[in-house]
Chain A
């Protein structure tokens, strides 16, 4: 039973345009959401997070939106750059130290 779902295995976006990566979750106990970026043969790198008490968080080119009623979050990257090409994982936490539940990832490809 997948509690965090990323339904697009891959996404191709032209350089300079907006990249939108989507994530859905089923467990209403999740209260903290994160996005990680992963290059091949490396560990995931923390990118941005959002608490369930907010609906938006921005950090430079990255913005995460949370729609609690729809149990949906999205990551916007604008403008997209070639270095953004990587696998992006959505993750969710119920709080405490129990660890994160991850989605399967979306492979973002930025085309020149």
Chain B
């Protein structure tokens, strides 16, 4: 059974129209992450939550926001998607404690197309 579930798997949005991607986990992990991956590139960390503490990467554009209403759910909001935001968005979780707690478990990803 999938332990990190992302919805939707495929999302098409119009240029400038806000979009929300969702992620849920059954692992009860402390940390939830959002990564962006473009074709032939490394996954790039956007931000993460350790419990309720939000940690934004320095180079993440303001256009990207996140919410974590509880342990199980985390959302990625793109306020005004541009063509350059078309990518796969990966949600991931980890325990965040101890060395092996840094192992990150990914969801299946959400493909975003901007038209």
Interface residues of A (CB under 8 A from B): 4, 9, 31-32, 34, 36, 41-46, 49, 51, 89, 91, 93, 95-105
The interface residues of chain A lying within 8 Å CB-to-CB of B108 are 42-43
Complex: chain B residue closest to A49, CB-CB: B103
For window 25-53 of B, CB contacts with A under 8 Å fall at 30-31, 33, 35, 40-45, 48, 50
Q: How far is the CA of A23 from the CA of B107 in the complex (A)?
A: 24
Interface size on B, as a range, is: 20 to 34
| Cβ–Cβ < 8 Å partners of A31 in chain B | 99
A82 to B77, CA, bound (A): 38
List 21 contacting pairs A-B, 8 Å CB cutoff, sorted by A.
A4-B42, A9-B40, A32-B102, A34-B103, A42-B108, A43-B90, A43-B92, A43-B106, A43-B108, A44-B106, A45-B106, A89-B43, A91-B104, A93-B102, A95-B102, A97-B97, A97-B101, A99-B104, A100-B102, A100-B104, A105-B42
Give Cα A47 to B81, complex, Å.
33
- Hey, what's the 0/1 contact readout for B84-115 against A, CB within 8 Å counting as 1? 00000010101011011111111111010000
CB nearest neighbor in A for B50: A97
> In the bound complex, how far is the Cα of B103 from the Cα of A46, in angstroms?
8
A102–B42 contact, CB under 8 A? yes
Most buried by A among B35, B101, B103, B108: B103
Looking across the interface, which residue of chain B has its beta carbon closest to that of A103?
B42
- CB B113 to nearest CB in A, in angstroms, measures 13
Q: Is the CB of A97 within 8 A of B48?
A: yes
Q: Which residues of A contact B106 (CB under 8 A)?
A: 36, 43-46
Contact of A97 among B6, B31, B105 (CB under 8 A): B31
